[in-house]
Structure 1
C-alpha cells in the first residue's frame, strides 16, 4: 500500500506530513517508557523482520497480490509507540533506498501504514485480551483479529486521504469499494502471518511479547478465611535469559526471507497498485526521486542475474534496517536510563 508521488496533491501531502511528524514525535517520547534492556534490541529486529516479510507478496485474487503492513505485528511484540517507530523506520528505508513509496508521500505512508494500522490494531487487541480468558491462546487470537481489521482500516484511511487530495477525478465510492474489498483479503494473509509470528515468540519467550504482559492471573491464597494474592513468584529461567538467541534466530530468518524466499514472491501488483490502475487514479503518478538509487525496485544496479540482484538487495535492506532501527531504539533506551538516574547519577563531588 505504498503511495507513490503524484497520487495526493501537495497541500494534503504536507498536512499528512505534519500528522506523521507529530505521531513520530509522540512515539519517540512514549517509546522511552516501553523500551528496556530486552525490547530495545528486539525492536530493531522487528523493523528488519517487517521489511523482509513485506518483500513476500502473496496472491489474494486474480492478478492481485498483497503483503504484510506490519503495524499489528509491531504493536503486539514491542508496544504501540515503539510499533509506530518500527514501521516508520521501514517506510523511510524503503522510500530512500529502494524507491518504494514516494518521498513527497512519506507523510501519507507513515500516517496510513504506521499510525492508522498500529492505533486500530492496538485498540482491537487490548479490547479483546480484556474480555477473553487470560492465556497465550487469547493473545494469539487477539493478534489475528487485530491484524485482520487493521488492513482494511488502512484502506479506508487512504480513501479518505484521496477524497481530500486525490489528483485525478475518480468516483470515491468506487475507490472505497475496490480498496476495502481487496484489502479485506490481504488482511487475512496479514492476520495469519502476525498470529503465527506472535505465537512462535510466545511459545519460546513469552516475556518478550509486549502484548502478553500482565495476562497471568495472580495466584490466590486463603488466609484467615479471606483470599489474598500469593507472594510474587521467582522469575522463570526463561525470563532471566538474554534475548540474544531469539534476536539471532530472528535476524537469520529475516535474511533468509529477504535474500532467498523473496525470489518466489508473487509478481502481481499489490492491492493499491491494482486499484490505482483499474480505477485510473495513477494517471498523474510521478517518477520516484530515488529511481536512480543503486537499490531501486529491490535490485542491485548492474547485477544482471535477477535472483542474485533481488536477494542481495533484500539482505542489504534487512541489514540497513536492523542497524538503523536498533540504533534509534538504543538511543531512546539510553536516554530513559539517564533520565531515571537523574541527579543521583552525578557524583557527590560534582554536586558541591
Structure 2
C-alpha cells in the first residue's frame, strides 16, 4: 500500500508529513518506556523482519497481490510507540534505497501504514485481551483479529486522504469500494502472518512479547465458599544466563529475515498489490510522478548491473535487511540510552 508521488497533492502531502512527524516525535518519547536492554535489540529485529516479509507478495485475487503492513505485528511484539517507529524506519529505507513509496508521500505512508495500523490494531488487541481468558492462546487470537482489521482500516484511511487531496477526479465511492474490498482479503494474509509470528515468539520467550505482559492471573482457591488468591509459588531455580538471554532469538530472527528477503522473495507474486491494482483500474495513477530515487542502485528491489534476476533480487533483499537492521537498531539503542540519561538526571 505504498503511495507513490503524485497520488496526493502537495498541501495534503505536507499536512500528512506534519502529522507523521508529530506521531514519530510522540513515539520517540513513548518508546523510552517500552525499550530496555532486552527489547531494544528485538525492536531493530522487528523492523528488519517486517522489511523482509513485505517483499513476499502473496496472491489475493485475479491479478492482485498483497503484502504485510506490519503495524499490528510490531505493536504487539515491542509496544505501540516502538511499533510506529519500526514501520517508519521500514518505510524510510524503502523510499530512499528502493524507490518504493514516494518521497513526497513519505508522510502519507507513515501516517497510513504506521500510525493508523498501529493505533487501530493495538487498541483492538488490548480490548480483546481484556475480555478473553488470560492465557497465551488469547494473545495469538487477539493478534489475528487486530491484524485482520488493521489492513482495511489503513485502506479506508487512504481513501479519506485521497478524498481530501487526490490529484485525479475519480468517484470516491468507487475508490472506497475497491480499496476496502481487496484489502479485506489482504488482511487475512496479514492476520495469519501476524498470528504465526507472535505465537512463535510466545512459545519460546513470552516475556519478550509486549502484548503478553501481565497476563498471568493469580491462582484462585476456594476457602469457606469464597475464592481467594493463592500464595505465590516459589521462584523457579535460576536458569543459565545463556538460556535467559534473547541473543539466540535475535540471531534466529536475523537469519530468518535474511532467508526470506534473500531467497524466498524470488517466489513472491509479481502481480500488483492492492493499491497499485485499484489505482490502475480506477485511474488514480493518472498523475503519478517518477520516483526521485528511480536511479538508485537498488531501485525496484534489484541491484543495478546484475543481470541475473534471482541474484539481483536476493542481494537487494539482503542489503535491505542489513540496512534496516542497522538503522533501526541504532535508533532504538539511542532511544534506550536517552531513557537511561533521563533516569540519571532525575536521580
Normalised by the size of structure 2, how large is the TM-score? 0.96
* TM-aligned CA deviation for residue 238 of structure 1: 8.7
In the TM superposition, what are the counterparts of 1:91-240 in structure 2 within 5 Å?
91-220=91-220, 227-228=228-229, 230-231=231-232, 234=235, 237=239
Distance in 2 of aligned mates of 1:74 and 1:279: 32
Distance in 1 of aligned mates of 2:276 and 2:23: 26
Aligned 8 A contact 1:221 1:230 in 2: no
Higher mean C-alpha deviation, range 3-12 or range 219-228: 219-228
Change over 3 Å in CA distance of 1:173–1:316 after alignment to 2: same
Tell me the equivalent position of 1:350. none
Aligned 8 A contact 2:220 2:227 in 1: no
* TM-aligned CA deviation for residue 20 of structure 1: 0.2
Change over 3 Å in CA distance of 1:110–1:343 after alignment to 2: closer
Normalised by the size of structure 1, how large is the TM-score? 0.95
Aligned 8 A contact 1:205 1:238 in 2: no
* TM-aligned CA deviation for residue 335 of structure 1: 1.1
Tell me the equivalent position of 2:252. 249
Q: Is residue 2:314 matched to residue 1:322?
A: no
Residue 15 of structure 1: SS of its match in structure 2? helix
Distance in 2 of aligned mates of 1:229 and 1:340: 36
Change over 3 Å in CA distance of 1:48–1:234 after alignment to 2: same
Distance in 1 of aligned mates of 2:45 and 2:227: 46
Aligned 8 A contact 1:97 1:296 in 2: yes
Aligned 8 A contact 1:8 1:105 in 2: yes
Distance in 1 of aligned mates of 2:149 and 2:130: 18
Change over 3 Å in CA distance of 1:160–1:238 after alignment to 2: farther
Distance in 1 of aligned mates of 2:293 and 2:267: 25
Distance in 1 of aligned mates of 2:129 and 2:181: 27
**Deviation string, structure 1 residues 235-266 (Cα, Å, up to 9, x no partner):** 67499711000000000000000000000000
Give the RMSD, CA atoms, in angstroms.
1.7
* TM-aligned CA deviation for residue 302 of structure 1: 0.5
Tell me the equivalent position of 1:41. 41
In the TM superposition, what are the counterparts of 1:55-94 in structure 2 within 5 Å?
55-94=55-94
Q: Gaps (5+ residues) in structure 2?
A: none
* TM-aligned CA deviation for residue 314 of structure 1: 0.1
Aligned 8 A contact 1:147 1:190 in 2: yes
Distance in 1 of aligned mates of 2:340 and 2:220: 34
Distance in 2 of aligned mates of 1:321 and 1:340: 28
Residue 283 of structure 1: SS of its match in structure 2? helix
Residue 102 of structure 1: SS of its match in structure 2? coil
Change over 3 Å in CA distance of 1:127–1:237 after alignment to 2: farther
